[in-house]
Structure 1
Amino acid sequence: MFLPSIGLETTSGATVTLSQCQQRTVLYFYPMTGRPGHPLPEGWDHIPGARGCTPQACSFRDHHHELALLHTQVFGISTQSSRCQQEAKQRLHLPFELLSDASLQLKQALNLPTFALEGKSLYKRLSMICSQGQIIKVFYPVFPPDQHIDEILAWLHSHADDGAAI
């Protein structure tokens, strides 16, 4: 399946159109990152798969160099605003951009799984590996989120000759 030609705002204020990414790319979708000093939504801890966004982002951060050696870029995607994502990117020292799909364009185009909480649609945790605008691997469900990077890296290593250096 090919990615739709939809532009998403990054935490740096640019726009990324995923269908135009030529380099192999990991897209990891997550519900939301919490903010220190702000309570999580009521019932958050009882939603399967909701917790773990920060540890998941940190695992991609901690393995960013290895991903780069595999000619693979990373984007984290949530329905949070870029403003909320900017705080997380700075606080967690993420070396990659977070993309905002606040208008749920990707959800509509790709029929991505979400759940509703306090009147908001949030992504269920999943990851995709894409190349030249095409989805080539999907990981769903993702659990545990902090160890998912190992599954991603294993797949990338086993497909290192599949056109990674485009």
Structure 2
Amino acid sequence: MMLKILFYIAVLILAFFGYRHYSNSSNILKVGDNAPSFTLNDAEGQTHYLSDYAGQYLVLYFYPKDDTPGCTKEACQFRDDLHKLEKLGAKVVGISVDDSRSHAEFAKKYHLPFPLLSDEDGRAAKEYNALTNLGFIKIAKRYTFLINPAGKLEKIYLNVNTSKHSQEIIDDLTKLK
């Protein structure tokens, strides 16, 4: 009897999360769409808006957690390639659901020269379909959006290899120039 109850509970949980996934996937962003706007604070409390980056390319990357191996590798690759990216007319901005204090420590530890924005409620990540919401736990997916100077999505990266991603964006920007 208990096994049967557990089975039904498991089915209900899977159905619930399956429905949530299905309902969220109906508004998937596509290349050419307007980039969803955002208003988020960086590690120093300065507010950033999507409109701040109008007229230039923006590499907007979402990442799961400060100071974890994959996120550190990705951030350091962007740091090391920032000069090349800026030479191609692009700014880099990272977003996760971590708080500003965590971002400040992460940026300081790895000398990250670009803004890390705090999306604690996951609203921006949700707008970009880059949020895993397990109810009580929210985590940003490792997605990147290359936004063109007109504010449109130029390229969407859903399968990110952290050790090659920055170079992949440099290659794509070079082709666009």
Structure-1-length-normalised TM-score? 0.79
Aligned to 1:25: 58
More strand as a share of residues: 1
Aligned-partner residue type, residue 136 of structure 1: E
Question: CA–CA distance in 1 between the matches of 2:44 and 2:73?
Answer: 22
Does residue 1:147 correspond to 2:177, yes or no? no
Query: Pick from 88, 101, 122: which aligns with 1:70?
Result: 88
Question: CA–CA distance in 2 between the matches of 1:121 and 1:151?
Answer: 28
Is the CA contact 1:31–1:122 (under 8 Å) kept in the aligned structure 2? yes
Does residue 1:87 correspond to 2:129, yes or no? no
Q: Match of 2:103, SS?
A: helix
Aligned to 2:140: 123
Aligned-partner residue type, residue 49 of structure 2: T
More helix as a share of residues: 2
Is the CA contact 2:122–2:140 (under 8 Å) kept in the aligned structure 1? no
Question: CA–CA distance in 2 between the matches of 1:110 and 1:123?
Answer: 10
Question: CA–CA distance in 2 between the matches of 1:150 and 1:3?
Answer: 22
Q: Match of 1:5, SS?
A: coil
| Deviation (angstroms), 1:113 | 4.0
Question: CA–CA distance in 1 between the matches of 2:86 and 2:52?
Answer: 19
Aligned to 1:44: none
Q: Match of 2:164, SS?
A: helix
The runs of 5 or more residues in structure 1 that have no matched partner are 35-39, 41-50, 161-166
Q: Match of 1:33, SS?
A: coil
The alignment yields a C-alpha RMSD, in angstroms, of 1.8
Question: CA–CA distance in 2 between the matches of 1:19 and 1:120?
Answer: 29
Aligned-partner residue type, residue 110 of structure 2: L
Query: Pick from 90, 115, 119: which aligns with 1:97?
Result: 115
Aligned to 1:157: 174
Change (3 A) 1:151 1:85: same
| Deviation (angstroms), 1:140 | 0.8
| Deviation (angstroms), 1:31 | 0.1
Query: Pick from 8, 11, 15: which aligns with 2:43?
Result: 11
Q: Match of 1:52, SS?
A: helix
Question: CA–CA distance in 2 between the matches of 1:108 and 1:151?
Answer: 24
- Percent identical among aligned pairs is 36
Higher relative CO (CA 8 A, sep ≥ 6), structure 1 or 2? Answer: 1
The runs of 5 or more residues in structure 2 that have no matched partner are 1-32
Aligned to 2:17: none
Is the CA contact 2:62–2:125 (under 8 Å) kept in the aligned structure 1? no
Aligned-partner residue type, residue 72 of structure 1: A
Which structure has the larger Rg over C-alpha atoms? 2
